[in-house]
Structure 1
């Protein structure tokens, strides 16, 4: 990569003594969904799967909220913690997940859609304008459950009475308080940047600055570094399909928390083996950027540290401007401007441009540009180069980094890259359903 600008909570309580100004919407998911209140004043909603004995659960839920705040509904997360939720599934009980609500004014977001494994549990109308629809998804997968019982499961909290139909005033609060366990999530800290250099115009990434960064090797010898990968869960990293297509899991190793490529082994880093190699079915080995995304499922769950943390996944409710124009960041161990391999990762800021501009300015790339690709460049001709394939193009939203694209191809200039034009990325936003369906959390 060439030189750049360097850039819980206490006990939870069943929804009860809401303030007199808070309205609780009616929903059509009795038995599968309930609103709850925490004793610190927050509110959340819990979903319960319709049946037990299922080892893989793919959730899709939608809420309607007043206004236009994308953060009113949190990501969908295992309830009350990942460990307990997965233990329940493994034991043959019904899986449970939850969302948190914030900045919703005097009316909680309204559940309008819930689906598990393709089975629609409920549907309802949205709020009248101004409102926004917020869709959240989550895939939970574990080994086959110990029990295949289809009997009703034990609830993590005593099942509250069905919520009353909303009144025409904001003063009807007929809920009784019930205790519930503390909620935790592995993804509370996703996309958080560590410490960076203080000088302007620095070249290198500091240790732990981007804790999702990981290096991909073709064997354990540390001689065959190939690509960049990024942590997206405790079992999954994301990279480019062309980095892993056709390779067996036994060939590949992921070096998590990697920083100094000359230090082997590296303190604070972790070399892990691969269990599964996943690429889209339409990817056939040719480097075609619009399907150049892949996943590696690791053999064992990793433990997050200050050097190893996940990147936030894109979600459908994160809006993309048709004119693009957003500033993104890419980091990796690619070649520098002299064509030399880098010892430490470097980062560069790039600006995303609309497809029509990319087509106009890079006519020779028209065979590689589709609606599922992104172009991004840098006015100083800085950007990712050979060795940076698979690196995540990330954008900052609400003080967290989200993966928007994956480094795929760049124009060449002899033995290095021609960065006077644009680098072409696979648009992860257009593949997010495939990613969520195939990743293991």
Structure 2
């Protein structure tokens, strides 16, 4: 159930950022690197749910993007909180879309009060969008590439509540140079197996190399171009088919003196039919750190 009615006009701009494959500067000393908080990606020590259901406070960086439709307001894409004013998402969630606003702090879309075991949460934040920034080289046809965007919120997120917090991005040289091939990542989404879920869910996905991904898609008559800006995840045995764009692909890693959750991928495109041998394709966030930072402001 949509819990608010919010209508804002937003300006979609194509910012002049760096291309993903351009020579990049060291993001650790980039002037805007300080806009990404040091306190990020904190891991909830006690999961309150078993199986695919996410814990109530497990992914406090998840954001829902709401759209004005003929049938009213509808959540159709997701994103992640990267600081108090910015949401990271996919470009196809933004370009030529009638955005109503962003919701953070949500867990169960069908309930006004979210409860899990002995804990309940009722505070959500619905915030208008001030600016939408789509990657200037985003392409959707014939091949999807540079599928990344930012939403600047009109008002800052109030981080005094436990159910909202930023996720870490691979901003340091160390995190950007990590080889993730063969590792198992976590995907969080409200939509699996082409069906909407009331509660937020999580699944584990093994990551595959680009060469393996290209080889698997060679069997398809509609072979997408797998670029250096993509990450591929094996979704054959899981429920990630039909996922919505903007969902984060995450890895736990040692950073800032402890274990943190770092977002390495943004759900972009892939098989809609479940049980296929074709991997899901994600935008590689590590390739776009310069673009992200250059398009942020205080």
2:54 aligns with one of 205, 210, 213: 205
The answer to whether the 8 A contact 1:349-1:378 is kept is no
Q: What does residue range 369-384 of structure 1 map to in structure 2 within 5 Å?
A: 369-378=226-235, 381-384=237-240
1:277 aligns with one of 132, 150, 160: 132
CA-CA distance at 1:135 after TM superposition: 3.7
Aligned equivalents of 1:196, 1:219: Cα separation in 2:
37
1:139 aligns with 2:32: yes
Q: What is the CA deviation profile of residues 296-325 of structure 1, one whole-angstrom value per residue up to 9, with x for unaligned ones?
A: 000011111210000112125124456712
Aligned equivalents of 1:343, 1:264: Cα separation in 2:
11
CA-CA distance at 1:340 after TM superposition: 2.9
Partner of 2:183: 326
State the Cα RMSD in Å: 3.0
The answer to whether the 8 A contact 2:241-2:271 is kept is no
1:257 aligns with 2:113: no
CA-CA distance at 1:407 after TM superposition: 0.3
The answer to whether the 8 A contact 2:82-2:168 is kept is yes
TM-score by length of 2: 0.77
Instruction: Give the greater-gyration-radius structure (CA).
Output: 1
Partner of 2:7: none
Which consecutive unaligned segments of at least 5 residues does structure 2 have? 1-24, 115-121
Partner of 2:11: none
1:239 aligns with 2:94: no
CA-CA distance at 1:421 after TM superposition: 2.9
Q: Say which SS state the counterpart of residue 343 (structure 1) adopts.
A: strand
Which consecutive unaligned segments of at least 5 residues does structure 1 have? 1-117, 119-132, 142-184
Partner of 1:306: 162
1:292 aligns with 2:185: no
Partner of 1:435: 292
CA-CA distance at 1:287 after TM superposition: 7.9
Q: Say which SS state the counterpart of residue 425 (structure 1) adopts.
A: strand
Partner of 2:225: 368
CA-CA distance at 1:350 after TM superposition: 1.2
Q: How many residues align?
A: 259
User: For residues 323 and 393 of structure 1, do their structure 2 counterparts lie closer, same or farther at Cα, with a shift above 3 Å needed?
Assistant: closer
CA-CA distance at 1:366 after TM superposition: 4.2
The answer to whether the 8 A contact 1:287-1:408 is kept is no
The answer to whether the 8 A contact 2:139-2:145 is kept is no
**Which one has a larger percent strand, Structure 1 or Structure 2?**
2
1:216 aligns with 2:71: no
Q: Say which SS state the counterpart of residue 190 (structure 1) adopts.
A: coil
Partner of 2:42: 192
1:409 aligns with 2:269: yes
User: For residues 395 and 419 of structure 1, do their structure 2 counterparts lie closer, same or farther at Cα, with a shift above 3 Å needed?
Assistant: farther
RCO higher in structure (CA 8 A, sep ≥6): 2
TM-score by length of 1: 0.53
User: For residues 388 and 343 of structure 1, do their structure 2 counterparts lie closer, same or farther at Cα, with a shift above 3 Å needed?
Assistant: same
